[in-house]
A and B are shown apart, each in its own frame.
Chain A
């Protein structure tokens, strides 16, 4: 089933209200009441694109990223042990032992009030990505750390022992899991970048220097025009990421969407900050909250450098599909 355009705008309106007005600790429950999990089954494109963009706009946090990624490998009610910031490949290492596997877990996780019962750990086993599905008996971070504690992310290092049968997915499963994350993050970054650009446009359209509106200076216009260009590219790439049915094409289109959305927020962080002048450097102005959230999400599941390198390596071996056909 897919949702038509009228329904989509109605959904957007309702979801906007929920994401904006619900306190952080009740947002997951409110989304469940609204029926977002069912929408995710019926029309993942609409469910993911609507929620994550709104999440970015409102700086909201939900457990939706783990839900969406787990669903891509037919799992539910699991937490994902994501790679460390910047890494596009698993940063946990699985080592075979006489009795099974020892996993040196190193990564980042979405915080939870209660520890999850089960986790999916992407890990490298003999240098190749695998997914390890394991029960979880350890403690779990309940509040965010680092540059943006409100984002609800924390680093995690521990050791896990499992039996061999815990290897529940191969490299293809990892690609599928990561692609689902890339698509969602692309939409969330679109929301973050849109607000940064709106804040900058509002500022330069109301402040004057030398007796003229800031936005009338060509140096200012040209910076914001570049941000607008990347916004459009990110928007088209994140939409196009839902087109391919072939798994390899879908994974590649998801990388392109994530890397292009990150490029948008990188350019927005740089240029919007500059034209906001001193105001954008204050705690009081909202800009820094978006900048910090963007820094975190740009790095999640691979920063632009590693993702570009992956695309470049595929180009070299002729494995890069053409994508976005007419």
Chain B
């Protein structure tokens, strides 16, 4: 296996989507033996995390995940759509997305767009390389769907912000080196107009991370407590009190680009369903395929728009709503088709199905609940009255 990024991969930044796809497929096939361990992951979260970091490092050193990122932040250049090709082929071949893939596509673009250039140039290569991971500090106990009423406060203290408050549902915060944090910098009544986005080092004194075990048994989500944490002003993302734009951009990446990765994974899971749950009727399997394919069509449009630098508008709300609809339908179908596997077996395949089934229950909650997406679609696409 090639250990350092070779010129051939770098040159692909200027090749067509089809050429990049074929080249990456060939690389995956040619290195199947060395990559095989990544298909069978441990059930322990820390071991999974370590294995996926190795995968991330490998994909960086071979150059594949540098395609489609600007050269200023450690990429090879080329259109964003190349990132979507690499993540799709990885999933199609049955490999899990490295953890920070989610972070990369969700938080990476925001740091490129809103961080001071030297900060982005310093941190993004480290993220892509797998040297560090990031987390997202948005939700609070009383500000989930109603994100605009968040209370975690950042007080202006000359050269620094002093941050105090609580965040919840932050994925993988216990492993994260940095956090994109939304903080209140205006009065509470200013709602979404008084929020500032900060890029915080997780080893700053005063941050307490407490994992919350979720119902599939994983310690994924965490609650974070900030007690007078000092954050340099140079770590402000975008303008002061303009953090809402950063948040909306991140959510549109999550509902859009990250959804592309999800559909590729769901498509692979659909194939495994026909072998692992052979009693799923053809009509159900076909309906599940149609739903996943609808997500693919919606998400393809979003990825193309992001790649062309176009505005996404409210479209990502459609993507997000279809993502949870498709994901829940697929795993409901698997449960009905293979109840013994999902409910009684303890083999590794059964455990994966069970875990994925349970995780799918959250798909209509995280990243903006389905109800919020429906409100957005009804009010902003159909013009129905607010309130």
Contacts and interface: CB of A to CB of B under 8 A. Distances in A.
Nearest to B370: A222
Interface stretch (A28-36, A72-80, A224-232): A224-232
A201 B289 contact: no
B85 interface: yes
Chain B, interface SS category: helix
A312 B282 contact: yes
Interface string B286-304: 1101100110111011011
B124 interface: no
Interface stretch (A109-117, A119-127, A212-220): A212-220
Interface in B66-86: 81, 84-85
B51 to A, nearest CB: 27
Given A260-B294, A326-B303, A307 B286 contact: yes
B378 A221 contact: yes
Most-contacted residue by chain A among B84, B281, B286, B297 (CB, 10 A): B286
B281 A233 contact: no
A311 B318 contact: no
A236 B298 contact: yes
A187 interface: no
Contact of A312 (B267, B286, B322): B286
Nearest to B273: A315
A221 B375 contact: yes
Most-contacted residue by chain A among B281, B296, B371 (CB, 10 A): B296
A146 interface: no
B377 A229 contact: yes
Nearest to A204: B384
B158 interface: no
B379 A221 contact: yes
Contacts of A226: 374
A308 B283 contact: yes
A315 B289 CA distance: 8
A233 B280 CA distance: 24
A240 to B, nearest CB: 6
A236 B297 contact: yes
Contacts of A225: 321, 373-375, 377-378, 381-382
Interface in B140-177: none
Given A225-B377, A229-B321, A324-B297, A315 B382 contact: no
B88 interface: yes
A220 B300 CA distance: 29
Nearest to A259: B290
B114 to A, nearest CB: 26
A322 interface: yes
Contact of A201 (B285, B286, B384): B384
B284 interface: yes
Contacts of B85: 326
Given A201-B382, A240-B297, A216 B387 contact: yes
A235 to B, nearest CB: 9
B289 A312 contact: yes
Most-contacted residue by chain B among A225, A226, A229, A316 (CB, 10 A): A225
B291 to A, nearest CB: 9
Contact of B374 (A197, A201, A222, A310): A222
Interface residues of B, number: 49
A204 to B, nearest CB: 7
Contact of A216 (B84, B285, B303, B384): B384
Given A305-B283, A324-B297, A213 B385 contact: yes
Most-contacted residue by chain A among B297, B298, B377, B381 (CB, 10 A): B297
B28 interface: no
A72 to B, nearest CB: 23
Contacts of A325: 17-18, 21
Contact of A316 (B282, B297, B318, B382): B282
A263 interface: yes
Nearest to B267: A322
A324 B289 CA distance: 13
Given A226-B374, A233-B297, A237-B297, A205 B285 contact: no
A228 B297 contact: no
Contacts of A312: 280-287, 289
A256 to B, nearest CB: 6
B214 interface: no
B322 A233 contact: yes
Contact of B385 (A216, A222, A309, A326): A216
Given A205-B383, A224-B382, A312-B285, A326 B81 contact: yes
B17 A326 contact: yes
B26 interface: no
B348 interface: no
B383 A315 contact: no
Contacts of A309: 281-283, 286
Nearest to B376: A225
Contacts of B381: 225, 228
Given A205-B383, A216-B385, A232-B298, A311 B378 contact: no
Nearest to A233: B294
Contacts of A213: 385
B289 to A, nearest CB: 5
Contacts of B92: 322
A313 interface: yes
A320 interface: yes
Most-contacted residue by chain B among A197, A201, A222 (CB, 10 A): A222
Given A263-B290, A308-B285, A312-B289, 5 more contacts: A221-B375, A222-B374, A233-B297, A237-B293, A315-B271
12 contacts: A213-B385, A218-B375, A221-B382, A256-B290, A256-B293, A260-B294, A311-B285, A312-B281, A312-B287, A315-B289, A318-B271, A326-B303
Interface of B: 17-18, 21, 81, 84-85, 88, 92, 267, 270-271, 274, 280-287, 289-290, 293-294, 296-298, 300-301, 303-304, 318, 321-322, 325, 371, 373-375, 377-379, 381-387
| Top 7 A-B pairs, shortest CB-CB distance | A312-B282, A312-B286, A308-B286, A312-B285, A311-B286, A221-B378, A225-B374
